[in-house]
């Protein structure tokens, strides 16, 4: 652990006193200095701490496999990606599938579909549910990542990860959600059950779209840090925390529709707190991830 | 004005006969007085009183409170100034002053006093003068210190009036002069008592004048005979007398008593404090003394006083008769000493209780004495003559008569004195039961004429007389007696001796007695005298009864005791009753002469309130009962005898006026002027008498006050004395104790000193002992020290010895060990010796044998030695040779070993290098893989793009065909169209119909499809480099039946039929190789997109593909979109290189 020895010895006390993330940037920089990036460490780091925004795109790209762990090849790989992006874009333009007026996220969607070979015959084809997920994520991602190439690639890989890596765990999340909600606040859960709102909760929004469109991007990216780094359970805790935060309002509502409607449009102002609490909750229930090394 | 009117109404209502109304109105007035501070109401009241003599108004006026006193005094001053109203104003003043209001000290400052004095100096009306003098005398003790500025006025007044007594200026009636004389006498006493020095000096200066000498001789000198030398004359001075500090300590009654003390006159004098006057007299004349005492208390009247007087008199008697102790103490205390058993029971308090009743009139709070004051007022108002009877000292009869009376009484009582002392109590006890008539009889008995046996008869006489007198009255038969009395009274009155001594006792002459008794019996015993007496006696005698009963000794002579008692009582009653008759003789003379009833007044005193009530309810039929009930009802229980007397007087006056009116009517024409004159004189006399009575009453109150206080003091003194005695006893006892203690103390001290000495000796002894012991101790200590050092030395020695012992032991052990060793050695050496012996023997044997052999050898020695030497040399050389050889060998071995070490380190280095290399390789591999992946993905996308493009193109073609353009093309190159169609169909590979179409063509092309196989094999062989890899990997790969055809097909489609297929097929399963990875991905994509249906019939598909391949070869030249053709090969060499590297790697691994 050379990195740890190089770290500020006060970091332990910072955390004790309650300052978080003082040393994160530095340690992340140390991590990123390695020639061959240690993906596992990056994962652990990203699960433990929120990523500094200036490194977020890089880390995500590395974690999502867009960039290889070697710095040397980054430039070349990115060049390839750019070319690929422009080629696909060009192709879509050539076949007049998109125009300049087409929204960027749809462009991403068609590019994704093209690359996955599922391009519909015409743009007027109705969207499938997964397309909507993609669109929501792309929309959120567009806010987070400036470069369109990066954005496209990250979105694509993110969605791919959801579809591949989390294919089995995502359907389990509602059950886990109920379980943890019961642990945290049994009355709330019973209220929800009494209202019959448990089944109608916006699970798709929460777990499939990973809260894209539900929370503002600034807080969303902190959740996605964890999702990207391989833990989709954080979604459960975010959902639980949302319910706990708006407990009073939810308790006041009696019908499932109202609850669902409210939860689909929760106020944005307290999202940061929700995310922080959710992360704490996650750490509490699942333990703080540690370096496996 | 309305208020004025209402006041008038109220005033008139005051005199209403209804008690309730009176009380209410009085209350209203009092309220007004309390609230109103103005002089109006008081003035009105005074006016009204002077007009009507209303009793309630008098009551209100006498009880005025502080703020109103000024108005009252002013108003009275005003009236005193006027000659007409002077008398009544003075009377009012007298009433007010006698009650001693709280503001009495203001009297001296009030203008009233000067005007009073002025009136005294100037007025010529003897009635006014007498009244004024009495008022002054009453007032003097109240204002002792402040009266000093008027001192000379007082003296002037005295001088004037004393000369008046002699000169009788104008036509003053002799009768009045008596009164005046008495009042002047009182003034004399007062002035002499209060201001002796000043007064004496005044007398000296005033009577040194010639013109006054006669007055002095006639008037003042007799007065001086009745006073002692005042102690102040010796000790005091003029200034001292007037010193306010002197008076500050004295209350009014103190002053009065002070004055009485210096009097030798038994009527005036007090018996206090060893003033021996009275007691001397009483010693000589016990009865007289009793009388005196009685008179002093009772001169104002009532049988009550009578009752109270009895214990006193008896006490005095007992004092005198047994003569046990000199009478230096006052009667109760003497009694105490004289008769201890009784003393305990007949306590001073009892005496006090007996004496208390007389005090009531003065001291009863005005509110309570309402009825009394009422009566008082009426008495004062109505009957001017009524007030007088009791007060004024009666004209003094000659001394001898006095003696006679007193001597006569003892004659009767003397034999029974002894009994009486004891029997007095039972008698008293019985007294209440005695009918009042008897009292009346005794009154006569007082004359000495009535005996017990005569009593019943006398009673009867009285009864008859009473009736007759009543009749007399009715018939106005008084005139006869009047003349008698006037003559009888004229005698004692005329001589100067009458003035000399005011002993009323002398007024007991026989002549008036009869009328007196008659008149008394008329009223007193009329019908209800008995109950009256009993009821009257109740309060008085009851107390003595309580007091005496315990001592109630059974009288030896019961028969005698009542007699004695009666006798005594008789004397007492006489003494009590006498005053009034005595005082009144002149009046009576006149009164009877004029047919006036005033004389009755004095009989009323005996008859008491019952008779008064009898008069009130005269006209009711049941006299006895009603009188009793009525009296009890009407007169409040607190009604004092004084009130009763007043009422009596009033009633008498009423009767008198009635009579008068009755008389006057017929006699108006007859001799009216003379009659009127008489009446006036009588009235005046009555008034004077009343004044005097009131004055005396006042004095009595003062005495009572004094008495009570003295009694209290006496009690306290007695108690204190007792206490003192006890204390003294205690003191003595304690002193004795102290003595004893002192003695014992001395003893103890002696003992103590002895003990101390002993102790000292002991201490010294002990000290010496201690010193010795200490010395011893030190010695012992030293010894012990020495011993201890010795002990230490010994211990050291012991330790040393022990060490030595140990050492010795060690040595012993060692030596033992050595010994054992030595013994062992010895044994060994023994055995060795044995062996040696044995060996020696052997040696000997062997030596012998050797000698034998040597002999033998010498025999054989000659040829063997050279040979042996040669051999030895050869052997030596051989040995050296071998040695060097070994050396060489060793050196070689060393070098070899070094070489081996070197090589080994080299080897390790190499291994390390290899590892690094491997790592690096892996790294690079990873890097390349990343890049490759990117490239792959790009490639994939490119493929997708081309796919899309193809799709698009085909779409477009389709459109063209549909547009009919295709037809022209059909004609020109139908095959191309076919191919295009086929392509299109192929693109929609899933469509079965197109497949069938292909299948139709397939048989024809089957031949064509065969050649590619070998070619592919050839391609595999052609690419030798790749082949090596494939060869290497082949053993690991099972042929993928599904993927194979597809890949081949796509390879061919791209235009790389020969080399691609086998290589990919070979590399597919190997996960390490990039080619394999790529192929897998490709296949996966394929399978994802379109392989679903491919797994149906592998065989048929392979067939179709084979045909296609064949067709491809034909088509290959044609398709323009094969632009990307050169692109795929570009990565190929890389991949191959990579493969090679990998292979090398594997080979290396294998090597290692």
Least Cα distance to B929 among A36, A164, A162 occurs for A36
A248-289 pLDDT tens trace: 888 888 788 888 888 777 777 778 888 888 888 888 877 766
Residues of B in contact with A65 (CB under 8 A): 933
Nearest to B937 among A70, A76, A84 (CB): A84
Residue B457 to residues B438, B465, B528, Cα–Cα distance (Å): 11, 12, 19
* 3-state SS, residue B118: helix
Examine the pLDDT at B610 and tell me if it is beyond 60: no
B658 falls in which pLDDT band (50, 70, 90)? low
* Dihedral over Cα of A142, A148, A151, A157: its sign: positive
Nearest to A70 among B926, B944, B949 (CB): B926
How near does any CA of chain B get to the CA of A94, in Å? 8
Strand partners, B227: B263
Q: What is the largest CA-CA distance in chain B?
A: 247
Across B865-875, b (16+ Cβ under 10 Å) vs e yields eeeeeeeeeee
More confident residue, A247 or B413: A247
Chain A contact for B919, CB < 8 A? no
Examine the pLDDT at B508 and tell me if it is beyond 80: no
Chain A contact for B956, CB < 8 A? no
Examine the pLDDT at A108 and tell me if it is beyond 50: yes
B24-38 pLDDT tens trace: 878 887 787 777 777
Chain A contact for B43, CB < 8 A? no
Give the least confident one: B145-149, B621-625, B643-647: B621-625
Least Cα distance to A71 among A24, A39, A33 occurs for A33
More confident residue, A226 or B453: A226
What is the number of other CB atoms lying within 10 angstroms of the CB of residue A222?
22
Share of chain B above pLDDT 70, in %: 45
DSSP state of B218: I
B822-852 pLDDT tens trace: 888 888 888 888 888 888 888 888 888 888 8
- Most B CBs within 10 A among A39, A64, A84, A163, hence the mutation to make, goes to A84
Chain B contact for A83, CB < 8 A? yes
A166 burial via Cβ count (<10 Å: 0-12, 13-18, 19+): buried
Q: What's the token pair of residue B1088?
A: 């994802």
Chain A contact for B912, CB < 8 A? no
- Most B CBs within 10 A among A95, A112, A156, hence the mutation to make, goes to A95
Say if the Cβ atoms of B940 and A87 lie within 8 Å: no
Least Cα distance to A39 among A78, A69, A9, A72 occurs for A69
Cα gap A212→A234, rounded to integer Å: 14
* 3-state SS, residue B241: helix
B884-918 pLDDT tens trace: 999 999 999 999 999 999 999 999 999 999 999 99
B735-762 pLDDT tens trace: 999 999 999 999 999 999 999 999 899 9
* 3-state SS, residue A270: coil
What pLDDT, on the 0 to 100 scale, is given for residue A18?
59
Say if the Cβ atoms of A115 and B941 lie within 8 Å: yes
Return the axis-axis angle of helices B1131-1151 and B1024-1033, rounded to nearest 10°. 50
Cα gap B130→B765, rounded to integer Å: 106
Average of pLDDT values for B1056-1076?
44
What is the number of alpha carbons within 13 Å of residue B319 lying toward its C-beta?
A: 30
For residue B690, what are the contacts with CB-CB under 8 A and spacing of at least 6?
B379, B380, B383, B384, B385, B386, B387, B388, B389, B391, B649
Give the least confident one: B246-250, B591-595, B765-769: B591-595
Alpha helix locations (H) across chain A?
A: 2-6, 11-17, 24-33, 39-48, 53-63, 71-94, 104-115, 129-144, 148-164, 173-184, 186-195, 203, 217-228, 234-245, 247-252, 256-264, 271-286
Contact (Cβ atoms closer than 8 angstroms) between residue B426 and residue B559: no
Examine the pLDDT at B1015 and tell me if it is beyond 50: no
* 3-state SS, residue B221: helix
* 3-state SS, residue A36: strand
Average of pLDDT values for A149-167?
85
Least Cα distance to B542 among B428, B711, B619 occurs for B428
* 3-state SS, residue B1042: coil
Chain B contact for A86, CB < 8 A? no
Cα gap B1066→B1023, rounded to integer Å: 13
Return the residue of B nearest to A94 by Cα: B949
φ, ψ of residue B671 in degrees (nearest 5): 50, 40
What is the number of other CB atoms lying within 10 angstroms of the CB of residue B791?
11
Residue B263 to residues B130, B189, B227, B284, B326, Cα–Cα distance (Å): 21, 7, 4, 19, 21
Say if the Cβ atoms of B1089 and A117 lie within 8 Å: yes
Least Cα distance to B1070 among B1029, B1042, B1022, B1098 occurs for B1029
* 3-state SS, residue B227: strand
pLDDT, chain B, mean: 62
Cα gap B586→B580, rounded to integer Å: 11
Contact (Cβ atoms closer than 8 angstroms) between residue B526 and residue B466: yes
B632 falls in which pLDDT band (50, 70, 90)? very low
Average of pLDDT values for B777-794?
93
What pLDDT, on the 0 to 100 scale, is given for residue B1084?
57
Least Cα distance to B1046 among B1094, B1012, B1005, B1117 occurs for B1094
How near does any CA of chain A get to the CA of B952, in Å? 7
Chain B contact for A252, CB < 8 A? no
Least Cα distance to B392 among B85, B164, B687 occurs for B687
Chain B contact for A81, CB < 8 A? yes
Q: Which residue has the tokens 């009223």?
A: B523
Kindly report the length of chain B.
1152
What pLDDT, on the 0 to 100 scale, is given for residue B401?
38
Give the least confident one: A149-158, B404-413, B661-670: B404-413
What pLDDT, on the 0 to 100 scale, is given for residue B269?
56
More confident residue, A127 or B771: B771
């Amino acid at each position: 652990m050379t990195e740890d020895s190089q770290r500020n010895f006060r970091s332990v006390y910072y955390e004790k006193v309650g300052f978080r993330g003082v040393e994160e940037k530095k340690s992340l920089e140390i991590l990123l200095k390695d020639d061959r990036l240690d993906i596992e460490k990056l994962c652990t780091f990203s699960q433990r701490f929120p990523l500094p925004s200036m490194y977020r795109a890089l880390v995500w790209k590395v974690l999502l496999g867009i960039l290889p762990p070697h710095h040397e090849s980054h430039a070349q790989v990115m060049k390839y990606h750019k070319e690929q992006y422009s080629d696909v874009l060009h192709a879509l333009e050539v076949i007049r599938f998109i125009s300049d007026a087409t929204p960027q996220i749809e462009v991403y969607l068609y590019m994704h579909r093209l690359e996955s070979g599922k391009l519909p015959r015409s743009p007027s084809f109705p969207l499938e549910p997964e397309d909507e997920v993609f669109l929501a994520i792309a929309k959120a991602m567009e806010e987070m990542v400036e470069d369109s190439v990066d954005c496209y690639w990250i979105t694509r890989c993110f969605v791919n990860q959801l579809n591949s890596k989390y294919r089995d765990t995502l359907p389990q999340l509602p059950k886990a959600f109920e379980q943890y909600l019961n642990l945290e606040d049994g009355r709330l859960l019973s209220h929800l059950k009494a209202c019959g709102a448990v089944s109608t909760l916006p699970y798709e929004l929460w777990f499939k779209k990973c809260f894209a469109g539900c929370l503002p991007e600034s807080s969303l990216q902190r959740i996605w840090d964890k999702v990207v780094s391989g833990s989709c359970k954080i979604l459960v805790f975010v959902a639980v925390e949302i319910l706990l935060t708006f407990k009073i309002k939810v308790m006041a509502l009696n019908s499932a529709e109202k609850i669902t409607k409210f939860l689909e449009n929760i106020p944005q102002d307290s999202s940061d707190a929700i995310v922080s609490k959710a992360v704490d909750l996650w750490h509490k229930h699942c333990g703080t991830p540690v370096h496996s090394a | 004005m309305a208020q004025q009117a209402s006041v008038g109404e109220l005033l008139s209502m005051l005199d209403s006969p209804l008690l309730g109304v009176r009380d209410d109105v009085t209350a209203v007035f009092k309220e007004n007085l309390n609230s109103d501070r103005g002089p109006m109401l008081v003035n009105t009241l005074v006016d009204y009183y002077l007009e009507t003599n209303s009793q309630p108004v008098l009551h209100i006026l006498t009880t005025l409170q502080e703020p109103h006193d000024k108005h009252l005094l002013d108003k009275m001053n005003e009236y005193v100034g006027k000659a007409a109203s002077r008398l009544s104003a003075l009377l009012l003043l007298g009433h007010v002053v006698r009650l001693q209001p709280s503001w009495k000290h203001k009297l001296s400052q009030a203008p009233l006093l000067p005007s009073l004095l002025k009136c005294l100096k100037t007025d010529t009306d003897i009635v006014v003068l007498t009244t004024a003098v009495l008022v002054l005398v009453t007032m003097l003790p109240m204002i002792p210190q402040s009266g000093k500025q008027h001192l000379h006025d007082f003296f002037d007044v005295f001088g004037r009036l004393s000369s008046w007594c002699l000169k009788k200026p104008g036509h003053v009636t002799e009768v009045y002069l008596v009164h005046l004389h008495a009042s002047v006498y009182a003034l004399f006493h007062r002035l002499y008592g209060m201001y002796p020095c000043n007064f004496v000096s005044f007398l000296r200066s005033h009577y040194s004048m010639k013109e006054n000498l006669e007055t002095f001789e006639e008037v003042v000198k007799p007065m001086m005979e009745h006073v002692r030398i005042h102690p102040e004359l010796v000790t005091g001075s003029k200034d001292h007398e007037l010193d306010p500090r002197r008076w500050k300590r004295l209350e009014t009654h103190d002053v009065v008593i002070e004055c009485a003390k210096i009097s030798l006159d038994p009527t005036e004098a007090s018996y206090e404090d060893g003033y021996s006057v009275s007691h001397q007299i009483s010693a000589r004349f016990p009865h007289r003394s009793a009388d005196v005492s009685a008179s002093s208390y009772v001169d104002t009247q009532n049988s009550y006083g009578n009752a109270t007087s009895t214990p006193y008199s008896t006490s005095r008697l007992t004092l005198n008769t047994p003569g046990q102790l000199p009478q230096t103490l006052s009667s109760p205390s003497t009694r105490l000493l004289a008769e201890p058993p009784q003393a305990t029971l007949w306590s001073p308090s009892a005496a006090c209780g007996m004496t208390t009743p007389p005090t009531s009139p003065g001291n009863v709070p005005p509110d309570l004495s309402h009825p009394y004051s009422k009566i008082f007022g009426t008495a004062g108002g109505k009957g001017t003559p009524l007030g007088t009877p009791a007060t004024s000292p009666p004209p003094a009869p000659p001394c001898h008569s006095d003696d006679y009376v007193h001597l006569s009484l003892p004659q009767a009582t003397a034999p029974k004195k002894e009994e009486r002392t004891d029997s007095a109590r039972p008698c008293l006890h019985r007294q209440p039961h005695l009918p009042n008539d008897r009292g009346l009889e005794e009154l006569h008995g007082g004359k000495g004429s009535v005996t017990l046996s005569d009593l019943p008869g006398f009673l009867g006489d009285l009864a008859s007389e009473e009736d007759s007198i009543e009749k007399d009255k009715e018939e106005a038969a008084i005139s006869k007696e009047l003349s008698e009395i006037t003559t009888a009274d004229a005698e004692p009155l005329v001589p100067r001796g009458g003035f000399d001594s005011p002993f009323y006792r002398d007024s007991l002459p026989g002549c008036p007695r009869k009328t007196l008794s008659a008149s008394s019996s008329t009223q007193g015993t009329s019908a209800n005298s008995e109950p009256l007496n009993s009821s009257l006696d109740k309060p008085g005698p009851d107390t003595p009864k309580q007091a005496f009963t315990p001592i109630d000794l059974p009288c030896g002579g019961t028969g005698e005791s009542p007699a004695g008692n009666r006798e005594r009582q008789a004397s007492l009653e006489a003494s009590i009753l006498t005053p009034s008759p005595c005082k009144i003789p002149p009046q009576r003379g006149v009164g009877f002469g004029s047919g006036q009833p005033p004389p009755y007044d004095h009989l009323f005193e005996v008859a008491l309130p019952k008779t008064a009530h009898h008069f009130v309810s005269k006209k009711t039929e049941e006299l006895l009962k009603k009188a009793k009930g009525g009296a009890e009802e009407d007169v409040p229980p607190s009604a004092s005898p004084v009130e009763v007397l007043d009422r009596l007087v009033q009633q008498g006056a009423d009767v008198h006026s009635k009579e008068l009116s009755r008389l006057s009517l017929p006699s108006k024409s007859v001799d009216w002027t003379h009659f009127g004159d008489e009446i006036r004189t009588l009235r005046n006399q009555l008034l004077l008498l009343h004044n005097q009575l009131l004055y005396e009453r006042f004095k009595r109150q003062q005495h009572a006050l004094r008495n009570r206080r003295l009694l209290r003091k006496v009690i306290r003194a007695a108690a204190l004395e007792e206490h003192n005695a006890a204390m003294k006893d205690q003191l003595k006892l304690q002193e004795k104790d102290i003595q004893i203690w002192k003695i014992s103390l001395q003893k103890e001290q002696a003992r103590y000193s002895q003990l101390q000495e002993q102790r000292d000796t002991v201490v010294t002894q002990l000290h010496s002992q201690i010193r010795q012991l200490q010395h011893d101790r030190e010695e012992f200590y030293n010894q012990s020290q020495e011993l201890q050092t010795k002990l230490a030395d010994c211990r050291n020695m012991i330790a040393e010895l022990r060490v030595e012992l140990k050492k010795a032991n060690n040595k012993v052990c060692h030596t033992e060990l050595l010994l054992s060793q030595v013994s062992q050695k010895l044994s060994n050496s023994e055995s060795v010796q044995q062996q040696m012996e044995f060996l020696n023997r052997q040696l000997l044997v062997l030596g012998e044998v050797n000698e034998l052999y040597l002999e033998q050898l010498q025999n054989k020695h000659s040829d063997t030695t050279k040979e042996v030497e040669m051999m030895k040399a050869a052997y030596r050389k051989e040995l050296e040779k071998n040695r060097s050889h070994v050396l060489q060998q060793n050196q070689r071995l060393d070098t070899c070993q070094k070489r081996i070490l070197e090589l080994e380190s080299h080897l390790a280095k190499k291994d390390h290098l290899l590892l690094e290399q491997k790592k690096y390789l892996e790294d690079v591999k990873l890097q390349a893989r990343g890049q490759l992946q990117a490239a792959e993905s790009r490639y994939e996308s490119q493929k997708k793009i081309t796919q899309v493009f193809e799709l698009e193109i085909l779409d477009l073609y389709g459109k063209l065909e549909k547009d009919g353009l295709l037809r022209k093309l059909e004609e020109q190159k139908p095959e191309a169209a076919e191919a295009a169609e086929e392509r299109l169909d192929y693109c929609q590979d899933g469509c079965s119909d197109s497949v069938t179409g292909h299948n139709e063509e397939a048989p024809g092309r089957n031949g064509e499809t065969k050649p590619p196989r070998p070619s592919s094999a050839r391609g595999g062989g052609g690419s030798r480099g790749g082949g090596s890899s494939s060869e290497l990997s082949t053993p690991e790969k099972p042929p993928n039946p599904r993927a194979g055809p597809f890949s081949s097909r796509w390879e061919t489609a791209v235009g790389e039929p020969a080399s691609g297929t086998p290589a990919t097929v070979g590399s597919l399963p190997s996960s390490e190789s990039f080619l394999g990875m790529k192929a897998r991905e490709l296949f996966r994509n394929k399978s994802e997109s379109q392989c679903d249906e491919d797994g149906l019939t592998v065989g048929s598909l392979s067939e179709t593909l084979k045909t296609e391949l064949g067709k491809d070869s034909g088509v290959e030249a044609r398709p323009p979109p094969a632009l990307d053709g050169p692109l795929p090969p570009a990565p190929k060499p890389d991949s191959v290189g990579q493969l090679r590297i990998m292979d090398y790697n594997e080979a290396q691994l294998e090597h290692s």
